[in-house]
Amino acid sequence: MRRKIFFVPAMIALAFAFAFSQQPNTSAPSVDHIRQVISYLASDALEGRRTGTPGANEAANYIAGEFSRLGLRAAVQPAPPTRTRVESLTRYLQPFPYVAHVELGKNNALTITTKGVLDAPQMRSSQTLRVGTDWMPLGFSSNAKIESDALIFAGYGISASELKYDDYAVSPRDRVAIILEGTPDGDNPHGQFARAGELRFKAAAARAAGARALILISSEDELNADRLSRLSYDNAGEAGWPVVVISRRVAATLLGGAEGLSAFEKSAKDRTRSLPIPKEVSLTVDVIRRESPSFNVVGILRGSDPILSEEAIVIGAHYDHLGRGGEGSLAPREGEIHHGADDNASGVAGLIELVRVLSTQKPKPRRTIVFIAFSGEEEGLLGSDYYVNHSIIPLAKTVAMINMDMIGRLQDSKLIVGGVGTASDWRSMIQNENTVEKMQAAAAKNLSASGSPNYQVTLNGQASPAGFPIVIGANGQPVVTAEISKLPLSLGAPFTLTLNEDGFGPSDHSSFYSKQVPVLFFWTGTHDDYHKPSDTADKINYEGEARIVSFVERVVRDIDKSDKRPTYTVAKSEPQGRSAGFRVYLGTIPNYADSTDGLKLDGVRDDSPAAKAGLKAGDRVVKLAGRDVKNVYDYTYALGEMKAGQEYEVEVMRDGQRLTMKIKPEARK
């Protein structure tokens, strides 16, 4: 009997060893591997990975090294017979142009001269303005020297034929146009002029109308109070001609004092536009743009099917973040390292794990898989925009793009999937992969990699419907069975999904959707550490991320198993993601998941209007500025009607109580 007692555990142990030998660690996402990648990318050593910095380029080399180690083919440059390791890694790097820094040159000058009249030439006078104090060239202004004997006031500088509105009814040809900041709708981000009133479009309209240069009158009396005074560049290309901003105070001195400026503003609102002004302009713009090496990291897993391998599935994640703060940061001050563990070291770790899993599992994918770690995402999707215009595999052959951005903070199994409206196949595919059976089967497979087996073993018994056979006898019946139904709920349960239709959003999948490629976007939502130094590796839910990566892997295999490529569709537009174009600022970090009982706040920025009002993470906004808030749409509409400096009531639900607070929005800088 004692021999039998010892033999049974030994046999079970042997069965587990045999089972696990059939399921090596390469078969599933590894929590330890994910932790290792995130810990390095989010470390102080990389200093926040701001695009164009040494830290970002170190991250690119690290990712290239992982791609090489896992056997991906270098996508960018052909491999010569011999190379050093460093030279070999550069073959994975796709460089793209990036201006990291803009500074004033030595030759900036602006002089405006009031013309004299024939019988009183002594009335002629000149005013030389001080760069940086009275005026500033904009970061996207082209360098040039302009001499013009005419200045023309052109209202708000808007030309929109579809709205039957044109501030250039009188041609500004060969003159310097001077215009007001803003639009006839004021600060309303939902107004009819919101798009045409963007500064880039104003500059393009003036240039198309024939003006020689554009002077923008700031809404601020002192220039240093206007965000436009901060010399910066959006990496969207130069204007092609000079564009500068002057303070409201200086504009008043040029246009006949405060009363004169008010008269011009009234003429803009009354649409009495294109007024000539007896001024001569001498303008020299000298802006120096410093480029910095910046790269996408691209590796290819060649498909196994001789025909379908000509098609590609792109899987992507961005590796850049915010460096030491500044533009894009929600921290109260600059200088601290923004670690970006969730945003988006988590996505890169998922990307590398998918490389490992898809390159080692059998069968191999039939289609070619293109793995891309993008840079420049935080600066405006620069890397992905460059890739779709310089793709390694033609976009016409790209059947889908899968994007992972911020997948490291899974809570209560809540997962957001965007882009489900971009292909007619997506919704049913996602829902099918999220069934109890699929999730439990995946959990059972993944246990060998997780190091956390929790089996109930049946010896020499019939497998239950939920059973996972470990050893099959000669008669075809299970000898040892693991009961998957006994797996930890967190491993085997489906996700609670929020499915968003839109293919546009605040991450790199947007670049592909704009080129009519079906996309899917996986993320776990924002949180109180978003875009702050406190987004650190110790706050990642590593087991949760492994579940998400496994889910993405199954979706990729679903796409790959069909001979038919996903059918592209135009998705319903929905607000989502992490950016806003509002002219007022509250400092809230909304949760963009679907809701019907108010808008939940994932966080509140330190020292913001929301923080001063007493709002906290976890609050659910139910009323704002007199408008009921049921969801994110109600919230954005109310926000669009608010004005800076005016006090409003905000009502929130907190711990079952309805609280009313006072909030005073600030102007967005």
Tens digit of each residue's pLDDT (9 = 90 or more) over 130-179: 999 999 999 989 899 999 988 999 999 998 777 788 898 888 888 999 99
- Residue 177 CA to residue 174 CA, distance in Å, equals 9
pLDDT of residue 301 exceeding 90, the answer is: yes
Reading the block at residue 449, the tokens are 């990699």
Tens digit of each residue's pLDDT (9 = 90 or more) over 406-462: 999 999 999 999 999 999 999 999 999 998 767 777 777 666 544 444 444 444 444
Query: Which ranges in the chain are annotated with CATH 3.50.30.30?
Result: 103-290
| Burial of 489 (C-beta count, 10 Å sphere; 0-12/13-18/19+) | exposed
pLDDT of residue 204 exceeding 50, the answer is: yes
User: Poorest-confidence range of 6-15, 191-200, 239-248, 616-625?
Assistant: 6-15
Q: Quick one: DSSP state of residue 458?
A: E
More confident residue, 355 or 182: 355
Give the CATH fold of the 103-290 domain: Glucose Oxidase; domain 1 (3.50.30)
Instruction: Give residue 488's pLDDT.
Output: 60
φ, ψ for residue 399, nearest 5 deg = -85, -20
User: Poorest-confidence range of 56-70, 161-175, 537-551, 576-590?
Assistant: 576-590
Question: Can the peptide bond before residue 344 be classed as cis, meaning omega within 30 degrees of 0?
Answer: yes
Reading the block at residue 667, the tokens are 């102007």
Tens digit of each residue's pLDDT (9 = 90 or more) over 359-404: 998 889 999 999 999 999 998 889 998 999 899 999 999 999 999 9
pLDDT of residue 15 exceeding 70, the answer is: no
Instruction: Give residue 22's pLDDT.
Output: 40
> Which residue in this structure is represented by tokens 């990729």?
556
**Which stretches within 115-247 are classed as H helix?**
199-209
Which range scores top for mean pLDDT: 89-98, 434-443, 632-641? 89-98
Among residues 635, 591, 553, the alpha carbon closest in space to that of 412 is found at 591
Q: Is the CATH code 2.30.42.10 the one for domain 584-667?
A: yes
Instruction: Tell me, letter by letter, the H, E, C secondary structure of 2-26.
Output: HHHHHHHHHHHHHHHHHHHHHCCHH
User: Poorest-confidence range of 13-27, 40-54, 523-537, 634-648?
Assistant: 13-27
| Amino acid (one-letter) located at 338 | H
Q: Give the angle 528-532-536 at the CA atoms, nearest 5°.
A: 85
Q: Are 89 and 62 in contact (CB under 8 A)?
A: no
Express as a percent the part of the chain with pLDDT over 70.
81
Query: Which ranges in the chain are annotated with CATH 2.30.42.10?
Result: 584-667
| Burial of 77 (C-beta count, 10 Å sphere; 0-12/13-18/19+) | middle
User: Where residue 231 falls among pLDDT bands split at 50, 70, 90?
Assistant: confident
CATH architecture for residues 2-97+293-452+488-561? 3-Layer(aba) Sandwich (3.40)
Query: Which ranges in the chain are annotated with CATH 3.40.630.10?
Result: 2-97+293-452+488-561
Tens digit of each residue's pLDDT (9 = 90 or more) over 590-609: 765 545 678 888 677 778 89
- DSSP element (H, E) containing 199: helix 199-209
- Buried b / exposed e over 540-573, threshold 16 CB at 10 Å, is bbbbbbbbbbbbbbbbbeebbeeeebbebbebee
